[in-house]
Chains A and B, each alone.
Chain A
């Protein structure tokens, strides 16, 4: 399924899709990227798309955000890399990825066959690396937009995460802004004291949209062995446990900046997705839920359609930020 999909088939799929959309318009434009529905898959939870292709029709997704890329391949952290926690999971993958070159040559051609938007998540450990990755991606065909992960330590400045300091956030985004013409989504870290300061810095530096949140920093300990449960000792928390934190941060940022927002964090159902829209998200990303049900993303998309129908909502715009307070 999906593999080697013919052009004619592809057109067919999008026609039936658009028929559906005549009744329920789920389309939304984020930073100039036209999404057929507001559901994307979150970076790092959907591989490069091909891993999930046997389980769901990628054509039905608003967008696929791929695993974060760096300039050179990275091998990642020592195992164990995964541990389940109450209503969530910690991961310490360590940003393992194939690097920009292999992605463009080997992974992107597969994704291009589908009628969905490809959002490329990327990172670096210096401003130079961020810019070089952005340039390399700018030159490739078939990428709808970039998602810049700023939860990454700055090698040249004491390994402080770019996204935890407004000034560093500003510098790295303005540099990347000059390196690419592609729509630039900046993905914010929740591990900060005031996320609105970072969001404003990102907006000032030229971000076209913001996505939030990345994982919450955390750790797990085994009382019997007295050892950390992750090889890297600390990791990132995701899943239903982080939804309340994510909702709050989207709401805060929605009030603070004018940019379109993409809500992420513990979205398991369409209802969760609607909650994010109510607090200000124009689109959402499904992360950990992909592991529990590989079809979670398209079920959520269908569920949003049902909610719109039931509540006579005509477009995404109508509901974004419409929280009754």
Chain B
């Protein structure tokens, strides 16, 4: 493994000593069984000091940082499984399953290559390689060759730089809206990097971690009735690497599609009314109390966690805004551009993967829409989910 050698040969002289010293301090401290618990889990689950010859930079014993994470985050999915890389597409998490990166589908007159299904993280131990097409983040400069879990997530779960920077200690997950004990704080939502986070290979982040809240009962699942309730700041956070795509800047070479997203992209009353009444193509008999659709989330436009209810089916109001995750998944999906649905299909029944595609298993088809059968639930005439906001005709 080239990367393994690279890491061990290019170890900077001064750094390991510092890391080793830091590790000695913590080796004998207790460890927590929820593992990260919003902050740094037991050092020994990620760092190893005694296998000198292969432990590279930061005494990490693997080909790359993402391979460390996948020691625990790969495996079959489930509502309380933290797996984000399953062997079969079963990790139906809000962020999505990196499994889709290794699945390419093709049919009579088209194809959907795996590289195009999301963020190509580099995890050599798990056979995941950089994106061969996009070498930088579109709309930014982050290099694809360095993209990994720790580009986006802080492995030590620090919030505001951690105690080193004067922040109170992190003492709980920041993902479930729980109150921290006095004198402590909860971590960032999903350990996401904030302005003190400087991912390897890129510049320090400028935008805060997003405000969102997940159900503490089904922590790694998503449905209309149990889902991440997004509050604010997700698009701005994506803008840490895709800065030029924020707001009206979502422009892609060779495509005419543009779309607003972010704090300023308020839905407006017309779109709110459409969202709340839309059930399926041509059927506008729905009501606001049950309008929420997992495939078309939005931000409620609040930074107050107590106002976010992960079990609410309530549709948006005038404070809500469009965000990147309205249309995309953060990790990957079964579809091009990590779409929450197949952007290339005029009717969703024509989505790929489909039964009969080369490279597609029955499970792939089933898991592509998170176990929901769109043809039976929405009908064969169901159009693109853009309609949830724009009605029958997309502008």
Binding partners A and B: no
